[in-house]
Structures are given as C-alpha cells and as structure tokens.
Structure 1
Amino acid sequence: MPEIAIRKLAIVVETIFHEGGPAPATPLRRGAALAVIANPFAGRYVADIQGFMDDLKPFGLSLAKQLLEALGGDPKAIEGYGKGAIVGAAGELEHGALWHVPGGYAMREILGDAKAIVASTKKVGGPGTRLDIPVTHINASYVRSHFDAFEVGLTDAPKADEMLLALVMTTGARIHARVGGLKASEIKGEDGLR
C-alpha cells in the first residue's frame, strides 16, 4: 500500500471555564487532532482498500499520542472520545471508513483499558467542510452526561484528493450535565455499553 503523505497537522484544545450557573471546580478540556493526508484512492474505484488501514495504524497511534500530550499527557484524565473523517470530493465515503480501526484502536490503546466503541462519523466534502464528531464515555457508551460533539474542520482542507482524519478526547462530562441516565460512577464495564 502507499505511504502516508501528510500535508498538515493541527491540534485544537478548548478549556471550558463556565457554561452559565456555577463554575465547575475543574474546567473541562476538550481537544481534537486533525491530519490532512493524500487519499491514495482519489479519482478512481479500487476494490481492495483494506490494506491502507494497516498503513494508518502507526499514524493513528502517533496522532492519538499527540492529542493526549496536548491535553496534559495523563491517560487517566481522559473520559470521552470520538473520531471522524472528511473525504475530499474525488474520494468516496468508504475511504473515510478506513479510519475506523486505526483511529479508534489507537485511542483505546493509549488510554489503557477503554472499553466503549469509539463513536464516529464521516462525510465527503471540500475545503472548509465542518464535521461534528460525536463523543461518548470511554468505558460505557450509555453514560448520558458524556454525550457531546466536537466540531472540526480546516479552511483549506480537504482538497479533492485528500482526507482529513480527526481524533477527539475530552476530560469529562458536559459542564452541568443533569439530564439523568447512567452515571460514570455506575459503569459496570462488562460490555462497553453500560
């Protein structure tokens, strides 16, 4: 399979001090790591694309480590995650699906014992396209307080023959989460759902 040709990387970190109501004791930190890479399948249909997932695995691990470092470097501080891809117009949605394994397993590996599936989304779009990446708790997808989204995108990406790959991590629940459901303190950790 082809080498990964990276055009640019970006890491964005938000620190949320207030959402109305009382300020939290600890601010919420949310971050995204974005990579713009050449799409080796742009402009043509290729039946067997799965091998590129193996090529992306070390890259996914590197990107996850960079994001974790930007959020303070402590895997135990991360409570939520998600991933996504924007495929340029000369590609197809399935090319974005190649990020599922390398992006998801990379975050689960560096976070240690994360049990929940990594929420994901993808779309085809041109430069400046925005993508709302869903976020869920790292150990139980049904923890309602951690249902969130992080919008990503870059002004000049993806070009038609590129893909923008993204990882998202958060350090906690939405500030003032209070709509019930399974709490993080109630996680059983049996199946990644509850």
Structure 2
Amino acid sequence: MPDVILRKISRVIEEIFHEGGPVPAKSLKRAAVMAVIKNPFAGRYEPDIQPFMEDLKPLGLSMAEKLVEMLGGADQIEGYGKAALIGADGELEHGALWHAPGGYAMRELLDGSNAIVPSTKKVGGVGARLDVPITHINASYVRSHFDSMEVGLNDAPRADEMMLVLVMTTGARIHNRAGGLAAADIKGEDGLR
C-alpha cells in the first residue's frame, strides 16, 4: 500500500462557558485535530483498499495523543467522534477507511471506553465543512453528551486529498436538560448503557 503523505495538521479547541443560561461551575472543552493527507486512490477505482487502514493507524494514534494533551489528560475526556472529508476525485468509501484507525486510536488511549465512536463522512470541495458527531465514551445512550463540532479548513481537501478528523470533549453539553441516561448511571456492560 502507498505511504501516508501528510500535507498539514490543524488543531482547534473551543471552550464553552454558557449558552445563554447561568455560567456552570466547569466549562466544556471541545477539541479537534484534522490531518490533510493525499488520497492514494483519487481519480481511479481501486478494488482492494482495506490494507490502507493499517497505514493510517500511526496517524490516528498521533492525532488522538494530541487531543488528549490539548484537553488536559485522558481522565478529562468524556466524549468523542470522528470524521472524514474526501476530495472530489475520491469516493465516500475512501473515508470509511478511517473508521478503525481513528476509532481504535482514541479508545486505546481512553481506558474503559466501551461506546462505538460515532462518525460521519462525505465528499466535498475545498473549504467544505463537516459536523462531527459526538457521544459519551462509555455509553452511547447518554443523551447529555449527544453533541457535534463543526470543522473545516479553507484550503482542504483538494481534489486528490482527504481530511481525517478526530474530536474529543470534556463533558456534556452546557445546560443539558433533555433527560435520558445520566453519565453517573452508566452500567458499562455493552457500550450502550
């Protein structure tokens, strides 16, 4: 398989203090790391693309490590998500290659994270934006942590590139009050509840 050719990495961190209501005791931090790489399959149909997932694993781990550092350590992380934005000469399936390398990298660094890492992917042009879904790291049904973070770069992805994204958060949405399973009530048996 071809090497991963990295053009750039971008890091973004948001700190949210309130959404119009009272200021909570603790702010919410959301962070994203975006890697823009050359799409080795751009412009052609390649039947066997799965081996490229192995090539992406070191990049996924490096990105996850950056996120943990940005947010103050693995013990601070409560939510996560991943995404891929594929340039116009690629196909949606190329973004699906990010599922395992991106998801497993985050779960490897976050002890006990049982929930599937939510994801999205799309084909888009330079400057396209993408909403990355976020859920709780241990139980997908924790409604307070259903969130998203919009990401994008003004010069990516070029037609022959992919932008791979990992997102982590330090908590629930500010002012969450939609009910459902509370993080304190997670049983941790199946990644759902």
What TM bracket, shorter-length normalisation? over 0.9
The one-letter amino acid paired with 2:87 is: G
Say whether 1:46 aligns with 2:74.
no
What is the aligned-residue identity percentage?
A: 70
Q: For residue 122 of structure 1, what is the aligned residue in structure 2?
A: 121
- Equivalenced residues, count: 193
Structure 2 alignment gaps of length 5 or more: none
CA distance in 2 between partners of 1:147 and 1:112 (Å): 20
Q: For residue 62 of structure 1, what is the aligned residue in structure 2?
A: 62
1:82-93 equivalence runs, <5 A? 82-93=81-92
Q: For residue 13 of structure 1, what is the aligned residue in structure 2?
A: 13
Q: For residue 193 of structure 1, what is the aligned residue in structure 2?
A: 192
The one-letter amino acid paired with 2:106 is: M
> SS of the residue aligned with 1:103?
helix
Structure 1 segments of 4+ aligned residues over 4 angstroms from their partners: none
The one-letter amino acid paired with 1:24 is: P
The one-letter amino acid paired with 1:110 is: L
Q: For residue 104 of structure 1, what is the aligned residue in structure 2?
A: 103
Q: For residue 153 of structure 1, what is the aligned residue in structure 2?
A: 152
Displacement after TM superposition at 1:173 (Å): 0.1
The one-letter amino acid paired with 2:3 is: E
What is the root-mean-square deviation of aligned Cα atoms in Å?
0.6
CA distance in 2 between partners of 1:55 and 1:48 (Å): 14
Residue pair 2:99, 2:119 contacting (<8 A) in 1 also = yes
Structure 1 alignment gaps of length 5 or more: none
The one-letter amino acid paired with 1:26 is: K
CA distance in 1 between partners of 2:67 and 2:74 (Å): 11
CA distance in 1 between partners of 2:144 and 2:70 (Å): 23
Displacement after TM superposition at 1:70 (Å): 1.2
> SS of the residue aligned with 2:10?
strand
Displacement after TM superposition at 1:113 (Å): 1.3
> SS of the residue aligned with 1:65?
helix
